[in-house]
């Protein structure tokens, strides 16, 4: 990757984007379009189709036909594997082009975008493709007069609704295992991050994924997302996003066909630093990266740092130094370490949290709108150095470069503060005490607990939340569980 290559791709004109349904690019049924505005400079990039309920229904019907006639689920596992591996190769070959397209649309810094988006999606496809022919059924240990067989079968049509922060990475966590299992899919991207998933759908067809197996419909959640959730022909619904939307999806599933719904609903993740942390400067550096990368627009961001009181002032000083060293700016400059906010709306929401903390008399470091003359949506990292558990910024998910730092005195108090949230997605603990580390892993209620690090867990381990962070798991072989049904055959011999 060179800066010259990036600059060439930055200025490449973009055509209007259309849905991919039943193997074809199609416009919205009423001709509607959505403006695609770049958070880099506020400019109009292109348009994409503003989907209607009829568009969603057409995609679902295509996916239903493709599943029922067995054009995908009926293939031998090795044949599906070959196609998915080719798809991964095509994504990897065009990784820079896809990454720049995504950055132009959602503002993630290019270094992270390249690794976390197309290259991550390709790796995820390969992981699940390689697992296809390793899945098998079971023979039950029962009465020898009978044969009890447990078959694993694809669940059917999957609806997927994915967010704007990492659409390819999170999208692949859904469509990788779903397609590998033999399901077909209708995917709705976020309104502000649709283009790269449409591009991936084109590459899927080029790789040999049959028409109707992988459909992408763009549009508003209240229209396209609702149609998917309410459909009687969608068997499984997977979603990453807000708790409010997750609740509406559950209600829609209850009103329709009681489809299975799996939700990842964000977090307010505690990052607990004890005085015996192995390296306090390293803890501060990694903690800064764990909340300020991608401008804080990360589900597992360690946005609540809890610090033992004896080192609180020292830690805040170190954290502030590392935050100040982060280069915020043009996300298509390879030297940039944190890019733009996804939208002006998200930027203003983040600034409102910081303003409220300042108004309450909290010690706030940073947290201003910057580079406003570019027309883009940029914000300096914000540290609320003395937040309390009563502060809204301590309790609610900000989804921006805003972190709170709160002192504690005892291990029991650290646990109580960590668990004082409706969320339970991720957490971390920094300590040299092995026994304490294991105690904290057990006591902190989260689906992922880091020890002396933050972020970076790979595909081999699951990611899922507890409490109001959702249910079900992305990543690892456990992700197949969402997309496979168990069927028993009971045979009298």
pLDDT computed for residue 221 by the predictor = 97
pLDDT computed for residue 1 by the predictor = 73
CB 210 within 8 A of CB 72: yes
pLDDT computed for residue 456 by the predictor = 85
pLDDT computed for residue 326 by the predictor = 97
Rg (CA), the chain: 23
Show which residues are catalytic. 264
For 255, the token pair is 């009103």
Mean pLDDT per 10-residue interval, the chain, length 493 residues:
91 96 98 97 97 98 98 97 98 98 97 97 98 94 97 98 97 98 98 97 98 98 98 98 96 98 96 98 98 95 98 98 97 97 96 97 97 97 97 96 98 98 98 98 98 95 97 97 98 98
What are the structural domains, with CATH classification, of the chain?
Answer: 3-265+470-492 (3.40.605.10), 270-458 (3.40.309.10)
For the chain, the farthest-separated pair of C-alpha atoms sits apart, in whole angstroms, at 79
pLDDT computed for residue 442 by the predictor = 98
pLDDT computed for residue 440 by the predictor = 98
Note the pTM of the prediction, 2 decimals. 0.97
What is the distance, to the nearest Å, from the Cα of residue 259 to the centroid of all Cα atoms in its chain?
22
pLDDT computed for residue 303 by the predictor = 98
What is the distance, to the nearest Å, from the Cα of residue 67 to the centroid of all Cα atoms in its chain?
26
Please report where in the chains the tokens 């304490």 appear, as a residue: 436
CB 481 within 8 A of CB 153: no
3-class SS of residue 441: helix
Q: What angle do CA 82, 88, 93 make, to 5 degrees?
A: 125
């Amino acid at each position: 990757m060179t800066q010259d290559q990036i600059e060439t791709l930055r200025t490449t004109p973009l055509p209007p984007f259309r849905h991919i349904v039943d193997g074809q690019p199609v416009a919205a049924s009423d001709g509607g379009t959505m403006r695609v505005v770049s958070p880099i400079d506020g400019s109009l990039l292109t348009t994409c189709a503003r989907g209607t309920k009829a568009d969603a229904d057409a995609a679902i019907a295509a996916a239903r036909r493709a599943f029922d006639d067995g054009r995908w689920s009926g293939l031998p596992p090795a044949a599906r594997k070959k196609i998915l591996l080719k798809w991964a190769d095509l994504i990897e070959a065009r990784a820079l082009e896809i990454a720049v397209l995504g950055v132009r649309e959602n503002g993630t810094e290019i270094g992270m975008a390249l690794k976390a988006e197309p290259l991550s999606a390709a790796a995820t496809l390969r992981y699940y493709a390689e697992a296809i022919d390793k899945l098998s059924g079971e023979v039950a240990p029962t009465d020898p007069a009978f044969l009890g067989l447990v078959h694993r079968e694809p669940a059917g049509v999957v609806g997927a609704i994915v967010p704007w922060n990492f659409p390819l990475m999170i999208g692949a966590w859904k469509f990788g295992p779903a397609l590998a299992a033999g399901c077909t899919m209708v995917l709705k991207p976020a309104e502000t991050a649709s283009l790269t998933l449409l591009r991936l759908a084109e590459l899927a067809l080029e790789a040999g994924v049959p028409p109707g197996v992988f459909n992408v419909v763009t549009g508003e959640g209240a229209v396209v997302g609702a149609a998917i959730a309410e459909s009687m022909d969608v068997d499984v619904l997977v979603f990453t996003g807000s708790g409010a939307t997750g609740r509406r999806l559950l209600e829609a599933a209850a009103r329709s066909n009681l489809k299975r719904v799996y939700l990842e609903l964000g977090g307010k993740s505690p990052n607990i630093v004890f005085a015996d942390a192995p390296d306090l400067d390293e803890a501060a550096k990694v903690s800064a990266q764990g909340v300020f990368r991608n401008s804080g627009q990360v589900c597992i961001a360690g946005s609540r740092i809890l610090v033992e009181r004896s080192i609180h002032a020292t830690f805040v000083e170190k954290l502030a130094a590392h935050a100040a060293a982060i280069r915020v700016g043009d996300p298509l400059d390879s030297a940039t370490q944190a890019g733009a906010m996804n939208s002006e709306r998200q930027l203003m929401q983040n600034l409102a949290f910081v303003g409220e903390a300042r108004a309450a008399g909290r010690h706030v470091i940073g947290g201003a709108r910057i580079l406003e003359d570019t027309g883009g949506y940029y914000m300096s990292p914000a540290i609320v150095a003395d937040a309390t558990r009563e502060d809204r910024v301590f309790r609610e998910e900000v989804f921006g470069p805003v972190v709170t730092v709160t002192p504690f005195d005892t291990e029991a108090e650290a646990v109580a503060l960590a668990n004082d949230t409706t969320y339970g997605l991720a957490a971390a603990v920094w300590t040299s005490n092995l026994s304490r580390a294991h105690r904290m892993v057990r006591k902190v209620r989260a689906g992922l607990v880091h020890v002396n690090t933050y972020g970076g867990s790979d595909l081999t381990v699951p990611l899922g939340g507890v409490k109001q962070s959702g249910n079900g798991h992305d990543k690892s072989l456990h992700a197949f569980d969402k997309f496979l049904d168990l069927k028993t055959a009971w045979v009298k011999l």
